[in-house]
Amino acid sequence: MSTLTQAPDAFAIELQSVCKTFLIDANGKPEYAVNSVNLQIRQGEFFTFLGPSGCGKTTTLRMIGGFELPSSGTILLNGQDVSNLPAHRRNINTVFQSYALFPHLTVLENVAFGLAVKRVPKAERQERAMKALEQVRMAHTADRRPSALSGGQQQRIALARALVNEPAVLLLDEPFGALDMKLRREMQLEVKEMQRRLGITFIFVTHDQEEALTMSDRIAVMSGGHVQQVDDPVGIYEKPANRFTAGFIGEMNMLKATCLGYTGDRTEIQAGGGVRVQCQLKELTAGAELTLAMRPEALSIVEQPDMNQVLFRGTVGDAVYIGSDRRYAVHLPDGEKLLVRVPNHAFGAQKILRQGDAVQVACPISALHFLPH
């Protein structure tokens, strides 16, 4: 059996034009689960594939792990081509949503099981299994059975079982899906801290936006088998590349807009409510359609805007109390709607807005996003 060696300065994982087709339609055309994905995942990075069900994120993860082979394209592990190698020939381990612990074995025996299959001597595998349990802070459970552990503890044991093989890359396929919300959030922080401590490349799959933003160094947002955007959490949230990313990550107001043309070196845009905005989008032509996007928390309800804000006029529709904030739906004259989140400390009780109130909504020019239509 050949041993994969790491190429100097290689990425942990590199995907080059990777495709996966499962079906051929009635016209003889392939239907893609993953379509021409190109990615470079760095050594020691916490990288997340994020997207809705059926977007191709789990299929991509399975191809990296060797559980699926690509229909075309190349997968590199530490600079070495592993595209056609089966899972057991790759120095990669996977933690699945179902922990798959053996109920008749102790925790220590569960963690050491993979080493036993590889015929590692008993003394060495017990030592390595205990070290893995210490890494996840579960050494005190070594002699217990899985049934005696909580869901969060079982998740840690599944992590230890993957770490004991000292993988170059650890894959995590929605591993917190079976946990309640409080425990899920605790595990997110614990796993991120563990990854920083160990320095291993973690590749994570989730459909939970908050989870991805909390844990990741970088995120690949996927839809329809394509990668829509790759960036760090701040870039994904604050600088969405297109309508899909803007709409999928958190709440986003998206108004129809049209390019009116150029005034000097500025592009003039007309958006919802007849508002005109100037920006620097040189690639647009007069008449081109686009989307003006704004986060609800970037908006404020004002008496008078300042010169660095864009002003929208409308009337309050729904007004919903959500604890720290009040969420207003402001209807614009042309029928479009803006969601505005106002912290409760911003208004006194006498200024709480009611349905039908006329208001002015301001957005800082720096918080506007102009997206291809």
Helix axes 181-198, 122-135, angle to 10 degrees: 120
| Crossing angle of the two packed helices 122-135 and 107-117, in degrees rounded to 10 | 130
How confident is the model at residue 155, as a pLDDT? 85
In this structure, are strands 46-50 and 218-223 parallel, antiparallel, or unpaired? parallel
Burial (CB count within 10 angstroms: exposed 0-12, middle 13-18, buried 19+), residue 161? buried
Query: For residue range 26-64, what is the model confidence (pLDDT) as tens digits?
Result: 777 888 999 999 999 999 999 999 999 999 999 999 999
Distance, CA of 16 to CA of 107 (rounded, Å)? 39
The pLDDT value recorded for residue 181 is 83
Would the pLDDT of 304 be above 50?
Answer: yes
What would the pLDDT profile of 120-155 be if each residue is shown by its tens digit?
999 999 999 999 999 888 999 999 999 999 888 888
Q: What is the pLDDT of residue 350?
A: 47
Average pLDDT estimate for 102-108: 93
pLDDT over threshold 70, residue 164: yes
Greater confidence (157 vs 265) lies with: 157
Q: Is pLDDT at 321 greater than 90 in this prediction?
A: no
Confidence (pLDDT) at 9? 64
Mean pLDDT (whole number) for 335-347: 84
pLDDT digit string, tens, across residues 214-272: 999 999 999 999 999 999 999 999 999 999 999 999 899 999 999 888 877 788 888 87
Please provide the average confidence, as pLDDT, over all residues in the chain: 89
Q: Which residues pair with 254 in a beta bridge?
A: 293
Phi, psi (degrees; rounded to nearest 5) at 5: -110, 150
Domains detected in the chain: 13-91+167-246 (3.40.50.300), 251-372 (2.40.50.100)
- Across the range 346-354, mean pLDDT stands at 66
Q: Which two tokens stand for residue 258?
A: 């049209």
Return the percentage of the chain with pLDDT > 90, whole number.
59
